[in-house]
Amino acid sequence: MANPVDHLFFRAKLDPTAIAIQDMDRLITFGQLSILVKDIANKLRQSGIRPGQVVVTAIPDKYFDWIFTLALLHEATISCSNCQYLPSDSSLEYDWVITDRSVEHFAPEKTIQINQDW
């Protein structure tokens, strides 16, 4: 099965100005998205995320959640989107949580808190 990130990079080379993601207020081209995904993936790797690890994203903004999910795919992780700040099912064992705010029920040593600078 092809990795969606491979398709992203192919489209970025083929037509970098084509719109990749759009909502009512924002749009991003394939060229911009490919750069963002590579940059975020690099930061995630530097933060300690490794291939095969389970990473939960708790980012309610679906636009950013999707971009981080693509970066996690780039890093060959197993991702799970929890678009709220609810505790995960106790049976879900995870290595990391990526979130945009401090949440008490996420273990601090397993939490990467992001902001707009990411």
Q: Nearest-CA neighbor of 56 among 32, 34, 81?
A: 81
pTM for this entry: 0.87
Spatial separation of the C-alpha atoms in residues 61 and 100, rounded to whole Å: 9
Share of the chain above pLDDT 90, in %: 61
Instruction: Flag whether pLDDT at 1 surpasses 70.
Output: no
How do residues 39-78 score in pLDDT, each as one tens digit? 999 999 999 999 999 999 988 888 899 999 999 999 999 9
Share of the chain above pLDDT 70, in %: 92
Token reading at 52:
């095969």
pLDDT at 109: 87
Bin 48: left if φ > 0, else alpha if -120 < ψ < 50, else beta.
Answer: left
